Amino acid sequence: MHLLLLLGGANCSSSPTEAPAETTATKAAPLPPEFGAYWFQGKAELTSYDLEQARYGEIHKGEAALIFVTEDFSRRKQVKLDNPAQAPASDKVPVLKLNFEKKFLTGIYPYSILTSTFTPLELGTDPHTLKVSTSVQEWCGHIFTQLNLRKKEYAVSQKSYFESEGDSETTLPLALLEDELWSRLRLNPAGLPTGSLRIVPATAYIRLQHLPLQAEAATATLAAAPASNRFKATGLQVYKLTYTSGRSLAIYFESVFPHRILGWDETYLDKPGAKEPRQLTTRATRKRSLQLDYWRTHNNEHLNWRDSLGLSR
């Protein structure tokens, strides 16, 4: 299937010479007819959230943002193509990029977390996310994780200021990634994997809890969301992951296209830095959404766009 990516201004196709075999119960489906009108108009979808983040055995108020945008990605270099029209067709992969940002304060010092995920639009041809990178910055220092898809595994680069973690270059057997579920949900929620599965937990969660990066056993369900005053909307669905470790993640989203995400709950036993481990729930609830070519709104005169999203300056 050939897709016109207006962001790149060129015809793009995804035709890998050798694609990894599917390893999960996900189901690919053609993109809906309305997909292009929404996603290929040269704008990103920006959504802001009120955030209640678990850290150090307490809940901290903050903000989160999900930034979704389509772009042309280099299969070989695994970076955004600057000139898609000049790139070989075999190297261009249309992706849905998600930049997932969280900002919150822990006492005197701030946390900033960003996860970037690059998921192919044509999951039938390219069934695995190509790249994930996560960085966490706070006043103690910063840490970084990156996964790059190879033929039958992910190459993993991890950097950290903690002596026990240090810097490492390793590999991860090919597996479903929790970080990619947010984009898969936007592309085809009916194709989300359900039942028993093995999945790699979110890279940000792994780094904050100082856990090894590996696939874990979990159970996934997709169902109608119970009625709630929290989201001020009807016809919602909830996708829930429950790990055998006890951690759970529930993502609430609109059942109709474009399947906007209304919020999420993430519950786990919070250990690092806490006086004693506590079962806490990180919770995010949507504030506002808009579509904008935000990369062109970088001057002081454009600060009002943050007001439009209800984000702090």
2 pLDDT above the threshold of 60: no
Structure tokens at 42: 């040269």
Mean pLDDT in residue range 256-283: 94
- For residue 233, give the 3-state DSSP assignment: coil
Q: Is the pLDDT of residue 149 over 80?
A: yes
Residue 104 has pLDDT above 70, yes or no: yes
Running DSSP on this structure, what letter comes out for residue 270? E
Q: Is the dihedral of CA 283, 61, 290, 30 positive or negative?
A: negative
What is the per-residue pLDDT for 7? 39
CA distance 287 to 282: 16
For 218, the token pair is 């979990």
Predicted local distance difference test score (pLDDT) of residue 140: 93
% of the chain at pLDDT higher than 70: 92
Segment 69-90 mean pLDDT: 94
Q: What is the pLDDT of residue 204?
A: 98
Q: Which helix (H) or strand (E) holds 59?
A: strand 58-74
Mean pLDDT of 41-51: 97
Which residue carries 């057997």 as its tokens?
173
How buried is 137 (Cβ within 10 angstroms: 0-12 exposed, 13-18 middle, 19+ buried)?
middle
More confident residue, 10 or 149: 149
- Could you read off the pLDDT of 174-213 as tens digits, one per residue? 999 999 999 999 999 999 999 999 999 999 999 999 999 9
Between 4-8, 276-280, 306-310, the lowest mean confidence (pLDDT) is in 4-8
Share of the chain above pLDDT 90, in %: 84
| Mean pLDDT over each residue of the chain, to the nearest integer | 91
